[in-house]
Structure formats: C-alpha cells, structure tokens
Amino acid sequence: MTIPFINLGAQYNIHKSAIDHAIHAVLDHGQYIMGPEVAILESALADYIGVKHVLACSSGTDALVLPLMARGLTKGDAVFTTPFTFFASAEAISLIGATPVFVDIDPETYNLDPIDLERKISDVKSHGSLRPKAIMPVNLFGIAADFNKINSVADKHQLFVIEDSAQSFGAPFHGKKACGLAHVGATSFYPAKPLGCYGDGGAIFTNDEELYKMMKSLRVHGQSTEGDKYDNKRIGLNARMDTIQAAILIEKLKFYDMEIQLRNNVAKQYGTLLCEQVKTPTIPHNQGSVWAQYSIQVKNRARLTRDLASVNIPTAIFYPIPIHLSTAFQHLGYQKGDFPVSEKIANHIVSLPMHPYLESRQIEDIARAVNQSVST
C-alpha cells in the first residue's frame, strides 16, 4: 500500500455533505462570478487573520502581482526576496518589471535572513543602479519569517513589505497570524496548500484602505470602484476568485484550526520518532507552524528518496534549484556560490508525507524507513 504524500480525498470524505451543499447553492443561484460567497469569504478571512481588508483573487501568484502593481513598482525598482522559495515569488516581481534582489536564508527556518537583508540593501544603495523599494519575505513550509526584525529593517530604509504567505496561511507569530504581519499579505488556496480550494485561488490581506481600493480596481481590469464601470481607470487584470471556490473555502475555513491541530500531532510524532541523523524542522520561540510541509535534512538525500520509494513512501524536494540558478533568471547574472546557505539546503532538504489524516501507524512506518536509510 502506498502512503499518500497529501490526502485531499480523506478530507473531502469527512466533509462531503457540507462542501457538496455549498457548491450546489452556487449552482442554484447562478452567480458564478463575484457571487455573494466571495464577500462572505473575504469577511471570514479578515476576521480569522485580524486585518481590516481582504480581497479574494484568482491565485497566490496574482495575490503577489496585485500589491506590486498597486504600489506602482516598475523598471529600476529593487524588491528583496529569498532564492529558496517557489518560483512564483520572484516571478511576480519580474512580471511587473521590477528586479528581484536575492537575500540568503536562515539555516534553521529556511526563511529570509534579516542580517543578509541589511547587507543586500546596502549593496543596492551603494551600487546605485536600482532603487530599493520593497521586501518580499516568504513564510516557507508553514513557518513565518522573522517579521519583527524584517519590519524594523523595512522601517529604517522606508521599504514596503509584501508577505508571501502562500504556504503559511494563519501561522502563529507572537500572538498574531501570518498574512497579517506586514503592509500587505498574500496567500494561495492551491489545493495542496494548508487551506486549499478545488482549483486555483488566493487572497490579499491589508489594513491599508488606499492600497485595498487600488487592488480592488486592478483585480477587475482597473475598473472604477465608484463611478462608471465602463470608464476604466487604469490597466489591470482579470484576477477574480470564482464563486464556487469561495463557497468551498467558507466551509473549509470552519475546520482549518482543527486540521492544523492534526498536522501538529503528525509533526510531533515525526519529531519523537526520527533519529539524530535527521535534521527536523525548527520552530522559533513564540511561533507555530501550519505544516505545509514536513521537511527534513539528511546527508545522503538520493539514497533516502530511493530507499523510501522502494517501500512505496513518496517524498518531494522543495526546492532542488534555488531561484537565482534557474534558467529564467540567468539574465540577473547570479553565480553558483552567491547564496551558500540556500544552495546547501537545496542539496539536502526533502519533504516527508504530511497531511491531517496521516495515521500513527503510517508515521511509524515512514520514520522507521527513514531511520534505517540514514543509519546504514
């Protein structure tokens, strides 16, 4: 029997009647685009995270593009981000014409290193060819970056902060929740994320009313949010969330906390069972994880993935190529060796199966197989 890496089917089976009912309600009222469920979801998400304004949108990627567009970022603007993330983080920056400037990561949390951030801001300032404008920290694998330090660096240099929380919706951080830790937060509801819908979806979180209005206009072709909707005010996108996805998310948000608890139980059991040769995740003081991934580091990763595959245990590698070494960003001129921590971790990281419905016996089997592989 293969152990699934994630198990969306188990979740659906438990909540089938509520989810089916929510989908059918949309089919019955027929407002497939911007139906009433979208505003209901936005207000539930705002309450959950503790921010004033939420915009549901078409994907996590568009949730990053919209705030960058709304701030008018353009050619010549530098946005500081991590190279150890999913491609979309840096892609959004380039898509609007700005330049991603990479900053190495912390070896424990795999998130943006605030000390290297200071260094890279100084480099850009002294070089003079780009204007430092914004920081896009990424909350990787379910754990928020060090926003206390990052926000103070941002204040000092007057930089705008966009939180890429696609993997960490609501992760606990010093009494607050991820998505609400910076000027603007973005998340993804891609099915495999901790809170996923049944297609593509995302959301943007902010307390800034002006920014919210601008993003709301850009979400629908730059349309006027007050006057004549056919007199478009600016160039925007079609970045709306489908009503059906909103209806599904309203239901799934209701049991999100319970699922995070279950994910925490899985992580705890992994932590007790895995042997010393395995580097397990580090959760900083006063923080928590929503366990988008349970990622470990081992010396011989190729052997581990092979050994686990031979007993039908799937693994995944997030991420084998740091973004500064990806083909699409060759033009930025980065070299191997530029981000030693990211590059080293990219060679040793591997993610084990993680979902709320992983059974104790399965976790024991996985841990036993891992321990055996790393100690032979």
Ligand X SMILES: *Cc1c(COP(=O)(O)O)cnc(C)c1O
Residue 351 C-beta: closest distance to ligand X, Å:
12
> Angle at CA 182, nearest 5°, toward 176 and 184?
115
Min CB(62)–ligand X separation in Å? 7
Residue 88 vs 266, nearer CB to ligand X: 88
The CA distance from 362 to 360, in Å, is 5
Beta carbon nearer to ligand X, 237 or 311:
237
User: Does 83 help bind ligand X (rule: CB under 6 A)?
Assistant: no
Q: Site map for ligand X, 115-144, x if CB under 6 A? A: -----------------------x------
Smallest gap from Cβ 195 to ligand X, in A, equals 11
Question: Could you tell me which stretch among 42-50, 58-66, 309-317, 325-333 binds ligand X (CB under 6 A)?
Answer: 58-66
Between CA 9 and CA 192 the distance in angstroms is: 12
Q: Which stretch binds ligand X (CB under 6 A): 13-21, 23-31, 54-62, 327-335?
A: 54-62
Of positions 164, 259, 307, 343, contacts ligand X by CB under 6 A: 164
Instruction: Give the number of other CB atoms < 10 A from CB of residue 25.
Output: 15
Distance CA 177, CA 50 (A): 8
Least Cβ distance, residue 27 to ligand X (angstroms): 24
Q: Is 61 in the site for ligand X (CB under 6 A)?
A: yes
CB of 201 to ligand X, least distance (A): 7
Residue 167 is a binding residue for ligand X (CB under 6 A): yes
Q: Which is nearer to ligand X, 59 or 223 (CB)?
A: 59
Rg of the chain's alpha carbons, rounded to an integer? 21
Rounded Cα distance, 185 and 234, in Å: 23
Alpha carbon distance 326, 266 (integer Å)? 33
Of the residues 48, 86, 173, 291, which one makes contact with ligand X according to CB under 6 A: 86
CB of 30 to ligand X, least distance (A): 26
By CB under 6 A, residue 60 contacts ligand X: yes
Cβ at position 159, least distance to ligand X in Å: 19
Of 229, 290, 215, 224, nearest in space to 63 by CA: 215
236 binds ligand X (CB under 6 A): no
110 binds ligand X (CB under 6 A): no
Distance CA 59, CA 248 (A): 15
Pairwise CA distance, residues 361 & 199, whole Å? 31
Q: What is the smallest separation between the CB atom of 239 and ligand X, expressed in angstroms?
A: 11
Helix intervals (H) in 30-146: 36-49, 60-70, 88-95, 114-127
Residue 133 to residues 52, 75, 79, 130, 187, Cα–Cα distance (Å): 24, 11, 6, 9, 21
Distance CA 23, CA 248 (A): 7
Q: Which of 35, 142, 202, 236 touches ligand X (CB under 6 A)?
A: 202
180, 205 Cβ separation under 8 angstroms: yes
Q: Which stretch binds ligand X (CB under 6 A): 5-13, 159-167, 176-184, 236-244?
A: 159-167
Q: Give the interface with ligand X as residue ranges (CB under 6 A).
A: 59-61, 85-86, 88-89, 138, 164, 166-167, 188, 190, 200, 202
